[in-house]
Amino acid sequence: MDSESVEPIVRPVNRGWVAVFVIGPFLAVIAGAIMTVKNGASWVPLMVAAVYYSLTVWGIGLGFHRLFTHRAFRANRVIEFGLAFLGSMSAQGSVLRWCAVHRRHHQYSDHDGDPHSPHTEGEGVKGLLKGMWHSHMGWLFRENPPALDKAVADLAKDKMVMWVDRMFPAITLFSLFSPALVGWLLTGTWEGTLATWIWAGPIRIFLFHHVTWSVNSVCHLWGARPFKTKDQSRNHPIVALLSFGEGWHNNHHAFPNSARCGMAWWEIDISYMLLWTWEKLGLAWDLHLPEAALAERRRN
């Protein structure tokens, strides 16, 4: 594919939509809290929210991140399509834009050119606060970094990936409103429908957005650094638990193409557990893992 056809594939930033999906879910959290205090909690909305949360976490962690960005493993086309679709349901951007930004993050990690580093906004307390805001959310409102199209030229050759990328707005709307249908089918009441929609729709999006953004912010500021890297990436167990393994971020930056982010036995990596199961079932293969000798040489 020539450069002229590749250039327009990464969508420009739409600040209006970014604001909607930042502010809207936050307002939903407030509404959900009021509803819970007033009416109590029901197992149906929370169960559906947990299912949607888990599916979209795997869509981002296994799909957008480990499969499409880093090619850490291979899988059959049904698995690939499912992960691309589920990642798009997270409302974190289309598959091409997400992967392009993350590849640029690794290219310039914590140096000028990194799209969302907390260490490029100045010195002192003011620089730290600006960096925390920028790495967590502020970068979403800035223009696309340059050369994102070139960063995903390989993905642009995949017709399935391109189709999912084009369908991102529709998939996002499906992700936002389909919980209402599930709630109606499970409860048969308008109250249950509304509660399921608000918990598994905007509140679930709010929670997962901030978990993912914490990998950019928290995991470059606080935590352990068991491996030598040229950046400030860190392991944070709470973020790792909530993100199903993505919070073992120093491990990941030390070995970007590894299918497993949790390296030690006690570093729980739920996404890798699923991937390991797929490998045993023949649904995934070529799982890239660092050699023990190389891992030992890179330890601090």
- Summary mean pLDDT of the chain: 91
Give the per-residue pLDDT at 142. Answer: 86
Considering only 143-147, 181-185, 212-216, which range has the smallest mean pLDDT?
143-147
Whether pLDDT at 196 is above 60 = yes
Q: Is residue 242 assigned to a domain?
A: no
Q: Is residue 122 assigned to a domain?
A: yes
Q: Is residue 41 assigned to a domain?
A: yes
Distance CA 256, CA 289 (A): 10
Considering only 121-135, 138-152, 203-217, which range has the smallest mean pLDDT?
138-152
More confident residue, 9 or 22: 22
Whether pLDDT at 21 is above 70 = yes
The mean pLDDT value for 277-296 works out to 90
| Overall domain count for the chain | 1
Considering only 22-31, 47-56, 155-164, which range has the smallest mean pLDDT?
22-31
Residues 6+ away with beta carbon under 8 Å from 57:
90, 208, 211, 243, 244, 271
Q: Is residue 117 assigned to a domain?
A: yes
From residue 137, give the alpha-carbon distance in Å to each of 131, 142, 220.
Answer: 10, 10, 14
Q: Is residue 259 assigned to a domain?
A: no
Q: Is residue 132 assigned to a domain?
A: yes
Give the per-residue pLDDT at 295. Answer: 78
Two structure tokens written together for 186: 């499970």
Give the per-residue pLDDT at 110. Answer: 96
Whether pLDDT at 14 is above 90 = no
Residue 293 banded pLDDT, cuts 50, 70, 90: low
Residue with tokens 């850490």: 72
Give the per-residue pLDDT at 147. Answer: 82
Q: Provide the b/e sequence for 80-98 (b: ≥16 CB within 10 Å).
A: bbbbbbbbbbbbbbbbbbb
The mean pLDDT value for 46-68 works out to 98
Q: Is residue 101 assigned to a domain?
A: yes
Whether pLDDT at 7 is above 80 = no
Give the per-residue pLDDT at 8. Answer: 53
Residue 264 CB neighbour total at 10 angstroms:
11
Q: Is residue 57 assigned to a domain?
A: yes
Instruction: Please list the residues that pair with 285 across neighbouring strands.
Output: 74
Domain range spanning residue 53? 3-228
Residue 171 banded pLDDT, cuts 50, 70, 90: very high
Residues 6+ away with beta carbon under 8 Å from 75:
67, 83, 278, 283, 284, 285
